[in-house]
Homo-oligomer: A and B are copies of this chain.
C-alpha cells in the first residue's frame, strides 16, 4: 500500500510499504477514508525535533474496519470508525482516570516503528479501547461531515481539553493563545460546548481569524507579547482573563498566557512544549494561577463528540481549508508549513 514517509527535515514522500496485518489478538486493521496533517507533524518537518528517516507519518485518520483480531468485541469489519491519535486499552488505571494518553498499553500512531495515519491503511492496536464506531456506518454518512469527524481525531478534542483544563464554564471570559486548528477548536469548544460568554482569540492571520469568528470568538487581538497582554487586560477591565488556553507551547506563548491571566485564574495548556521551556514560578505564584497541562486525552471526549457531530450540533470541520490526495502529501506539508493552509486533509 501507499503511505507518507519522513525522509528528512523538509521532505515527506509517499512510498510503497507493506500492507498492515493483525499482530495481536486485540488489533484491528482500518482502511483509511480521510487523514490529515497536524501542526505537530511540522516539528520534524521543520527540523525542530529529530525523527528517523523512513518513519511513517500522521496520527489522525478515520476509516473502515477491514479485519479484527479474535479478542476484539466492540468493532467489526465494515464499521466506520474514528480513532484518536493514540491508542489505549481504556481499562487501565490511567485510562479510568481519563488520561488515556498515558495508557499502560498505549502508543501513538506515527511514532517510529508504528503505522502512521497518513497512509491507505493502519494497524490499530487495542482496537476495543481505541476505536469509536460511527452509528450508521460510512454509507449512512453525508460526505460533508467527514471533515468534522476527522477533526475529532485530534484538534477538536485537544482544543476542548484546553478549555476544560482552563476551567471554562457557562458565562466565562476566555483568552485563547494560538490560532492554529487547536486554538480555533478551543474557541469552538469554549463557546459551543462549555458556554463561555466571551472568547478573545489572539490571531493575526485573516483566514484563521475568520474561522475563529465563525467558531464564536467575540474579540480578536492581533498583538503579541507585552502588547498582546496589554490588549487583553484592556478588554477585561484591566484584570486579565479568568481563563486562558495556551495552544502553542513556546516560551513566548507561555509568557503571554501567564501575563494575561487574571489573579486567581486558570490556564489550560495543550501546546506540546517541544522546546522544553522553563517556567519562572514566581509570576504565576504571585498571580495565584492554576495551570492544567498535558497532551489531550482525546479518547475521553470521542463518544460524546461523535454524537454531537452526527446530530449537527458541533462542527469543527471548517479547520480544514485544503484537501489534497495522499499522493500529494508533500504539498500538504508545504502548505501548512507556509501557513497557506490552517489544516490540510488527505483524501484517499
Contacts and interface: CB of A to CB of B under 8 A. Distances in A.
Given A264-B99, A264-B102, A289 B285 contact: no
Nearest to A271: B285
Given A93-B239, A290-B293, A293-B289, A281 B279 contact: yes
A281 B293 contact: yes
Contacts of A285: 269, 272-273, 293-295
Interface string A265-288: 000010011001111111011111
Given A263-B97, A264-B97, A276-B282, A102 B290 contact: no
Interface in A89-114: 93-94, 97-99, 101-102
Contacts of A273: 281-282, 285
Nearest to A251: B281
A290 B284 CA distance: 13
A286 B293 CA distance: 8
Contact of A165 (B284, B290, B297): B290
A22 B273 CA distance: 53
Given A282-B276, A285-B273, A263 B99 contact: yes
A254 interface: yes
Interface in A171-206: none
A94 B262 CA distance: 9
Contacts of A99: 263-264, 288
Contacts of A297: 288
A291 interface: yes
A280 B98 CA distance: 24
Interface residues of A, number: 37
A288 B101 contact: yes
A207 B340 CA distance: 65
A292 interface: yes
A99 B265 CA distance: 10
A292 to B, nearest CB: 4
Contact of A288 (B289, B290, B295): B295
A277 B281 contact: yes
Contacts of A262: 97
A21 to B, nearest CB: 32
Interface in A3-57: none
Contact of A289 (B98, B237, B280, B294): B294
Given A98-B264, A290-B293, 14 more contacts: A94-B239, A94-B263, A97-B264, A99-B288, A102-B287, A165-B290, A254-B281, A279-B279, A281-B293, A285-B295, A286-B295, A288-B293, A288-B294, A289-B293
13 contacts: A93-B239, A94-B263, A97-B264, A98-B264, A99-B264, A102-B287, A273-B281, A276-B281, A278-B278, A278-B280, A284-B293, A287-B294, A290-B292
10 cross-chain pairs, A with B, having the tightest CB-CB distances, nearest first: A288-B294, A290-B292, A99-B264, A278-B278, A102-B263, A279-B279, A273-B281, A285-B293, A97-B264, A276-B282
